[in-house]
Structures are given as C-alpha cells and as structure tokens.
Structure 1
Amino acid sequence: MAVANLIFSIANVKIGTKETGTYETDLGVTKGGGTLTQDITSVEIRSDQKSDPEAIIATQAPKTLTLNLLDASPDNLALAFGGSAAGSVVTIPALVEGIEKGIKITTRTVNKVYYEIEIPRALVKGNSTITFGSDDASTIPLDVAILKPSSDTYKPVTIKKITVA
C-alpha cells in the first residue's frame, strides 16, 4: 500500500517583501490553522436546443487566505489591523489600506512529506477581530487577498511538495 500524501497543520508562516522570493519574518505560532480558498465564478453558455450547457467559461478565480495567529506581538497586531508598530505601541489609522507582503506557509512533515505554499503578492486587508475570552487565548485573524503578481515570473499561488530523505 502506498503512503498517503497528507497536508497536515501549519509548521510556520513567514512573510517578506512582495515578489522577492524571500520570507524573513516568522509570524510565530498559529491556532486553528488557516484556510486557502479559490472561488471560481463562471458563465454557462446555453442553447435553446439542449438542457445542458454548451460550455462553462471561468470568468474569475479570486483566491483568499485566512490565518489565525496566536502570537500577539505588536508587529503581528499591526499587520492584522493594517497599522504600524513602534516598539510596544500599535497605531491603527482611521482608514486602512492594507499591507502588501509575500507569504510562505510550511506544513508539518507527515510520512516524510511536507508542503510549501508560496504567495508572492498578497494584501493583508486589515479586517481583523480580537475576541477577548476568559477560557482561552485570543487569536488574531489575518484576512488576506491574493493578488496577481506584477511579473509573469511568479504565479499567484505555488504549492510545492517536498520529500524529506
């Protein structure tokens, strides 16, 4: 029986300058994982002669990423809310425009396999919520829109399977 290829949990999340292929800042631990979503919009071309469509044409394929950070560092709070951090103080502007970054997610190794998900150009939109609970630590959600890279050198998302020797 062949060993299954499994994507399991997040080992780390790093961000960097957009479209450079370098991810130098580790965002720390996450909780509750994350979600990478592609939502395809299409148009069905129908004829009067058939009940089934003649063709289905994809018109849009927006991709989004949601991550739940557990590390409430000032830099992570500033990133999540589209603000800035100066030492231990986070400032959030009245109108948030978002922050463009490159993002790399590495999954945990299972059966000697892990995956790297690279997003060279992403907009951390600044939509975030902190829920203050008495029974567990708060998470800081990152709401990310995946943008088209400005160069054809990069693709919006690359998922690479890596086998450990």
Structure 2
Amino acid sequence: MANLIFSIESVKLDEVGQSNPTWAIDLGVTKGGGSFTQDVTSLEIMSDQASDPEAIIATQATKTITLNLLDATPSNLALAFGGSVDTTDTNKVTIPSLVTGVEKQVKITTRKVNNIQYEIKIPRALIKGNSTITFSNDDASSIPIEITVLTPASGNPVTITKL
C-alpha cells in the first residue's frame, strides 16, 4: 500500500516555548485543505571557463503554510486578521490599523488513509494577519490564514512524523 497524505484532521496551536504543549487551541474545521510550501533561494556560482555553474549554494529556504478555516469563531477571525477578541464582549473582534502578527506553535494532523497519518509540528511560527473573507452566495466563506515558519530556539523548524 502507498503512504498517502490526505486532507486535514486537525490544526492545533499552543504558545511558543512550551516543551510539552497541550495543544489547547483547536482551530476547528477547515475547507479546501491547505498547503505547506518551501521556497528555496539559491546562488549560482559561475566561472568564465564553464557554461554550467561551478556550484549552487542555497541561501534561504522560506517555509509557509496556508490554511482555509471554515470555523468563523471570533478567536479564529482575530487570529486570521491579527486582531483580538474584546474582553467585555467575546463576540466582538477588533483589528488594529497596523498588525504585527502572533507567534504560536503549530501542529497539523492529517486524516488517516490505509491506517496511516502524518503529523506536522512547527515549534515557532508567525501568523501574520494577512487574510481575506470572500462573501459568496454559493457556499460558506472560508478564512485563509498565512503562517510563516520561524527559526526555533533549538531544533529543526519543521518535523513531519508518520504516526
């Protein structure tokens, strides 16, 4: 049987720096999946004597995750737009003029296929506050969130584990 990665079972968050996270923040259901992208930037070292590069040196490997949240809770809206939930009215989200994003740990668990699933853990990530709500007559709106992987205090920035 093939080892398949299929869909998203859950997306959970916790505070950065927790050595034993509880993953208490559940972002709820998603729609249309998501994406994990690694964009490698490299420098080609050329010489006058050859038409092919002498070496190719990786200089950056930016990693981003894009998810489409379907659960439009005030806390998800605040997270997606870099805002905050009002402390006196928990149904109200306020978004400042300039958002700075929020750092969290992220855990994405895929759905089981052939009794196999994967877990992607990111110990330090920035949820930027870049988002869009598209209002539609055809279906419920999803709320995209953009997550940039940051370098953690120790260890690797991303681990993918077959469960």
Q: TM-score range by the shorter chain?
A: over 0.9
Alignment of 1:63-142 (within 5 A): 63-86=63-86, 87-142=90-145
Superposed displacement of residue 19, structure 1: 3.0
Alignment of 1:13-92 (within 5 A): 13-20=11-18, 21-22=20-21, 23-86=23-86, 87-92=90-95
Residue identity (%): 65
Q: Cα distance 1:118–1:13, how it changes in 2: closer, same or farther (>3 A)?
A: same
Q: Which aligned segments of 4 or more residues in structure 1 are displaced greater than 4 angstroms?
A: none
| 3-state DSSP of counterpart to 2:33 | strand
Q: State the alpha-carbon separation in 2 of the partners of residues 4 and 24 from structure 1.
A: 32
Q: State the alpha-carbon separation in 2 of the partners of residues 49 and 94 from structure 1.
A: 54
| 3-state DSSP of counterpart to 1:19 | coil
Amino acid at match of 1:7: I
Q: TM-score, normalised by structure 1?
A: 0.93
User: Quick check: 1:10 aligned with 2:8?
Assistant: yes
Structure 1 residue runs without a partner (length 5+): none
RMSD: 0.8
Q: State the alpha-carbon separation in 2 of the partners of residues 43 and 95 from structure 1.
A: 34
How many residue pairs get aligned? The number is: 158
Deviations 1:18-69 (A, max 9, x none): 1325121110000011111110000111111111111100001111110000
Superposed displacement of residue 103, structure 1: 0.6
- 1:157 is matched with 158
